[in-house]
A and B are shown apart, each in its own frame.
Chain A
Amino acid sequence: MSAPVAILGTGNIARDLYRKIARSSVMKLELVAGRSSNSDGLKDARQFSNEVSSDAILGLVDYKKEKIKLVFDTTSAEAHKKHSPLLIEHKILSIDLTPSGLGKIIVPSVNIDDSINSNDISLVSCGGQASIPIICALTEAARNKGYTVDYVELTTSVSTLSAGPATRINVDSYIHHTEEAISLFAGCDSKVILNINPAEPPVNMQNSISIRVKGCVSKYIDWETETQQVAKKVNEYAPGWVVANSPSIIGDDRLFVSIIVTGQGDFLPAYSGNLDIITSAAVQVGEYMLCQK
């Protein structure tokens, strides 16, 4: 039997998530809670959700809360900071898709097992979800080869059309918490840059990763095994994740790799890989948690 779940928020990420949950055999969408009954996102929700509410978090807490097994928070970093204590108080499992920095950080291809013992999951950010799988594999491989890794840098470019108002207001928390997560997984300093690109036709989500690899003697190291393993794991839930430029050494110590993510075109067109990578991860983690409980 499918477990009833809820979504907080009605923006781009939420609307993509409506459609992905509709395909899940593990969960069904019971409630979507937004702020305005007139919003396009809430109107859209009626097609996918059993119930809708315009009372935001209160709509959720008031609504047969014993029935909801899991909540996806797609609102904003600031809003999630207010939601989090309420969700914990009411013992509602939650997966946060905003860069609030709260909760246990999960990247499905890396540490999905860690979600079992947590009630409060953070998916970091779209850039974090797209980059951390390859960052983990390459920093580990480089260290195994005897090199020192002391810095990782991520530049993410997304199209203007895929970056909604919440994303734009959240840029600083996006950078801060993505850096925090990359440092956690890579075990070193990190820097994150975000570009919002209005080019026409819209650009696909692209993630360029530079890893400082000290003591690297050869420019011709084969990273193919690591790259293929990561792609295989990530493609289980995000089929549009592709290594666009295979890892290679540029200059003295810069290991460079770039990842393009195209989406499945559920709500926004395929160029919005930034939506798809985090909503796909959310469904993957949600299904995993519900199957374990």
Chain B
Amino acid sequence: MSKVSFIEIHDSTLRDGNHAARQSIDLETIRAHCTMANQAGLVSVEVGHGNGLGASSYQVGFAKITDSEALRAAKQSLNTTKLVVHVIPGCAVYDRDIKPAIEMGVDIFRVGVHCTEADLTETFIREIKRSGSATAYGCLMMSHMASIDHLIKEAEKMYNYGASAVCIYDSAGAYDQERTRNVITSLKKEFDMKVGFHGHNNLGLAIANSLTAIESGADIIDAAICGYGAGAGNTQLEVLASILDKNNYSTGIRIAELLKLADQASSTYAKSKPFSSSLSIATAIHGLFSGFAPQIEKASNLYSVDPFELIKQLGKKGVLAGQEDLIYTTAANMSGKNNHTHADK
């Protein structure tokens, strides 16, 4: 690996990790993590519900703390490190969720949509840019489901709306190195804009894919302390940063301080670490969102159905992140316990 310009390693632990923690990350965790992340020189830290601002619900799980509590605690603990949140149109609402977050000092909004629906981000990206005090990144989630040409078309929309970067999310942990290389190279060739990669480790490839993304020209890499994230977890931040450091990449991270943060996380909220469980391998192979695993477990227990058969059925239907309700309805249908109610006509 050769030395290139600055690589922006983005810490998604407290947001993606909220999936692993079943949305139970508390204020104490945010304060401790953010303080140490700032000391370690991390560029940016993301906090909030696993599905972003305004997502706390039966559908995707109630968070232990409110968005504004989380943002306040994070902001107070950060100095040079930027504060980042995730927002999904259809879940977050501009006036209710984004406007107050801008006022609370959020620096970067990651506006996420399913990879073929970039036009849903137009209002958010334009409004955030217009606010003058925050930046918007466009995020194409579940990106394994679209062709490279299609991803380019969607990225172009976000670029035109005013996004400062486009991030490619391997939300299912389904990417291999070849796919990563092809996607990132094509996007970098097409746009004069920062490109990011967000990996998941379902198939044990998160670090390999992230390094491939960097070699292919990616500017931003998402990673999590202890790999703490949905499904089998994300790219392990302290591993990635150490490899880059060894190879003379510039990241601004102080490795010794970073390892203290990793130890702190490992002994507190990240005691139980995500790994490539058979369930998360199966979701990746069938192209399902990594965060589905807990709900698949719950629904298969509730309706006494085989979780792997359930994963197969959900994969066939192309169920997407945000459609957690379909996990239950599919399991109910498989169990035969479902009563279809029709009116007498």
Which residues of A come within 8 Å of B, CB atoms?
Answer: 153, 155, 157, 160, 165, 168-169, 171-172, 175-176, 191, 193-200, 203, 206, 208, 210, 212, 224, 227-228, 231-235, 239, 242-246, 250, 254, 256, 258
**Which of A169, A197, A210, A228 makes the CB contact (< 8 A) with B341?**
A228
* Residue on B nearest A256 in the bound complex, by CB: B328
Chain A contacts of B119 at CB under 8 A? 165, 168
Residues of B within 8 A of A231 (CB): 341-343
CB distance from B122 to the nearest CB of A (A): 7
> Are B343's CB and A232's CB within 8 A?
yes
With contact pairs A169-B122, A235-B345 given, residues A197 and B323 touching in the complex (Cβ less than 8 Å):
yes
Docked complex: B90-115 residues within 8 A CB-CB of A: 90-91, 93-96, 114
The one of A195, A239, A254, A256 that contacts B322, using a Cβ cutoff of 8 Å:
A195
What are 6 of the A-B contact pairs (CB < 8 Å)?
A: A171-B90, A172-B93, A195-B90, A196-B114, A196-B117, A232-B343
Complex: A199 Cα to B320 Cα, angstroms = 8
Residue from A155, A176, A227, A228 in contact with B59 in the complex, judged by beta carbons closer than 8 Å: A155
Asked if A176 contacts B93 (CB within 8 A), the reply is yes
Query: In whole angstroms, how far apart are the Cα atoms of A288 and B235 in the complex?
Result: 60
Does B120 belong to the interface (CB within 8 Å)? yes
Nearest-neighbour CB distance to chain B for A6, whole angstroms, equals 29
Task: Determine, out of B193-201, B261-269, B277-285, B332-340, the stretch whose residues face the partner at the interface.
Answer: B332-340
**Given that A155-B325, A195-B322, A246-B338 are known contacts, is A175 also in contact with B117, CB under 8 Å in the complex?**
no
- Is B2 on the interface with A (CB-CB < 8 A)? no
Find residues 296-345 in chain B having any chain A CB closer than 8 Å to their own CB.
Answer: 302, 317-320, 322-323, 325-326, 328-329, 332, 338-345
Q: A175-B90, A242-B340, A243-B341 are in contact. List 4 more A-B contacts (CB 8 A).
A: A153-B58, A228-B344, A232-B344, A244-B340
Using CB atoms, name the residue of chain B closest to A253. Answer: B58
Asked whether, in the complex, the Cβ of B326 is within 8 Å of the Cβ of A206, the reply is: yes
Of A199, A206, A227, A242, the contact of B318 (CB 8 Å cutoff): A199
Whether, in the assembled complex, B123 has its beta carbon less than 8 Å from a beta carbon of chain A, the answer is: yes
Please tell me if the beta carbons of B116 and A195 are within 8 angstroms of each other in the complex. Answer: no
**Given A199-B320, A242-B340, A245-B328, are A191 and B57 also a contact pair (CB < 8 Å)?**
yes
- Find residues 55-72 in chain B having any chain A CB closer than 8 Å to their own CB: 57-59
List residues of chain B with CB within 8 A of the CB of A172.
89, 93-95, 123
Q: How far is the CA of A206 from the CA of B322 in the complex (A)?
A: 13
Number of residue pairs across A and B with beta carbons under 8 Å?
Answer: 111
A175 CB contact (under 8 Å) in B93, B145, B323, B329: B93
Q: Decide: A194 and B325 in contact? CB cutoff 8 A.
A: no
Cα distance, A277 to B285, chains bound together (Å)? 37
Nearest 9 CB-CB pairings of A with B: A208-B325, A199-B318, A231-B343, A232-B343, A210-B58, A243-B341, A194-B90, A235-B343, A195-B322
Residues of B within 8 A of A235 (CB): 343, 345
Q: Which A residues touch B116, using CB under 8 A? A: 160, 198
Residues of B within 8 A of A160 (CB): 116-117
Q: Note all chain A residues with C-beta closer than 8 A to B344.
A: 228, 232
Q: Which residues of A contact B114 (CB under 8 A)?
A: 196-198
Q: Which residues of A contact B329 (CB under 8 A)?
A: 206, 208, 244-245, 258
- A210 & B59 in contact (Cβ 8 Å cutoff): yes
Closest B residue to A151 using CB positions:
B58
A246:B339 contact, CB within 8 angstroms: yes
Q: Which residues of A contact B322 (CB under 8 A)?
A: 155, 157, 193, 195
**Neighbouring A residues of B341 by C-beta, 8 Å:** 224, 227-228, 231, 242-243, 246
**Residues from chain A with Cβ under 8 Å of B342 in the complex:** 231, 242-243
- Contacts of B145 on A, CB cut-off 8 Å? 198
Choose among A196, A234, A243 the residue that contacts B90 (Cβ–Cβ < 8 A): A196
* Minimum C-beta distance from A111 to chain B (A): 19
Inter-subunit contact B317/A199 (CB<8 Å): yes
The docked-state distance in angstroms from the alpha carbon of A235 to that of B342 is 9
Residues on B with C-beta less than 8 A from A224 are 341
Q: Please tell me which one of the listed residues A155, A193, A195 contacts residue B320 in the complex, with CB atoms under 8 A apart.
A: A195
- Which chain A residues border B91 with CB–CB below 8 Å? 193-194
With a cutoff of 8 Å between Cβ atoms, the chain B residues found around residue A256 in the complex are: 58, 328
B332 touches A198 (CB 8 A): no
Chain B contacts for A228, CB-based, 8 A: 341, 343-344
Instruction: Give complex CA distance A227, B340 in Å.
Output: 11
What residue of chain A has the Cβ atom nearest to residue B97's Cβ? A172
> Could you say which residues of chain A place their CB within 8 Å of the CB of B122?
168-169
- Give the shortest distance, in Å, between B26 (CB) and chain A (any CB): 21
Q: For residue A245, which residues in chain B have a CB less than 8 angstroms away from its CB?
A: 328-329, 332, 338
**Per-residue contact bits, chain B 126-161, to A (CB 8 Å; 1 contact, 0 not):** 000000000000000000010000000000000000
